[in-house]
Amino acid sequence: MENRRVVVTGMGALTPLGNDIVSYWDGLRSGKNGIDFITRFDTSDLKAKLAGELKDFQVKDHLDAKIIRTTDRYEQYALIAANQAVADSGLTGNIAGERLGVYFGSGIGGLETFMEEHTKLLERGTGRVSPHFITKMISNMGAGLIAIQHHAQGPCLDITTACATGTNAIGEALRTIRHDYADAVIAGGVDAAITKLAMAGFVNCMALTDSTDKDAASIPFDKRRNGFVMGEGAGALVLEEYEHAKARGAKIYAELVGYGSTCDAFHVTAPDSEAAASSLAIAQAFKEANYQGDPSEIYINAHGTSTPLNDKTETKAIKNAFGDDAYKLHISSTKSMTGHLLGAAGAIEAIAAVMAVREDLIPPTIGFKEADPECDLDYTFNTALQTKVSLALSSSLGFGGHNACIAFKKI
């Protein structure tokens, strides 16, 4: 089957650092911390007090009242990020509906709606449960609403692989365009799970940090790390077949050239300490990229959750995949600034990788103070680095053992 080239022609983002691509990237390169105390609900009975909430953001400024009334927060974020990406791409009116797809995932779906409607059920009875409950809750509806909004009649899939969701969605979209099932795909991920129920669940499975110092909470690869910080938002990329984009004079950010996807098949939450499958996903993406250049011109946006097991295991995975060249790579975890956006993480981190290639800049891993001997690679601590970036990889690891990695190069 034909092996077509795939490029990025549009991007959109809602993140704790900013609510569009420009403000998000400005936050990353300046080392801005988007983590702060939770404002959405009382945290007095929770050990975790911090999160990466969206700031200065009103859904009503982006969507009409009817859509807001019938959708969950996660669906709203998905729609807004996708609308930004499509507008950025100029794709509207330049593609047949049946040749446009949507691969957009959520790790958790409409949890806020689930909580609200369950409370109604208990307090007011079955008759007061919203008729929109199901469509607001199910995790495929973000993708479905994006398809409706943009008349995308091609393949439409909600990919849910926990914290690897966004990366898998982008990777599977690559294959769909590469093998001529679509000419363009709106791809990405979303989650809006900063709720008391989700926070309690993550706290009780010992995943979240209990730090109350926002500058020492999400500190990937630092020896003091003790858990991740929850974030929220969405990231969307318009992926397009190269000749299709070129023919319509589209702006091209970068070329998507590699994808790897594996499973640890080991444990529901803990990564395999041998890092065999996670390193294979990275190696697969790198092999597909067919990169022959200098390792010092490679950037890896690491999953880098700031949990004790993840960061040392991911370090080992990079070493397994690259051997001695691992020490020449530029690496960072932008979760140090955004927290962990769950299903959206891979999507906003793919955008960071694209921008790193486009602007020859490595965003930093902020908050570093204390070295960990088990994390001994170049993580670009505290300050961004201006240097040539010819290839950028973005790696994600999810509960259930899901591993995914994608690769972008200059065009």
- Read off the pLDDT of residues 354-363 as tens digits, 9 standing for 90 and up: 999 999 999 9
pLDDT bucket at 289, cuts 50 / 70 / 90: very high
Question: How far is it, in rounded angstroms, from Cα 159 to Cα 104?
Answer: 6
So which residues are the catalytic ones?
A: 163, 303, 340
Tokens representing 34 are 């988007």
Percent of the chain past pLDDT 70, that is, above it, reads 100
Question: How far is it, in rounded angstroms, from Cα 134 to Cα 331?
Answer: 41
Percent of the chain past pLDDT 90, that is, above it, reads 99
Kindly give the pairing relationship between strand 361-362 and strand 391-398.
Answer: unpaired
Is pLDDT above 90 for 85? yes
Do the Cβ atoms of 190 and 81 come closer than 8 Å?
yes
pLDDT bucket at 3, cuts 50 / 70 / 90: confident
* The domain over range 6-247 is classified in CATH as 3.40.47.10: yes
Start and end residues for every CATH 3.40.47.10 domain found in the chain = 6-247, 259-409
Is pLDDT above 80 for 380? yes
- Read off the pLDDT of residues 173-209 as tens digits, 9 standing for 90 and up: 999 999 999 999 999 999 999 999 999 999 999 999 9
Positive/negative CA dihedral, 392, 318, 213, 340: positive
Cα distances from 241 to residues 75, 155, 158, 245, in angstroms, run 27, 15, 21, 6
- Read off the pLDDT of residues 151-167 as tens digits, 9 standing for 90 and up: 999 999 999 999 999 99
Do the Cβ atoms of 24 and 18 come closer than 8 Å?
yes
pTM above 0.95, yes or no: yes
Average pLDDT of the residues in 284-288? 98
The architecture of the domain spanning 259-409 is: 3-Layer(aba) Sandwich (3.40)
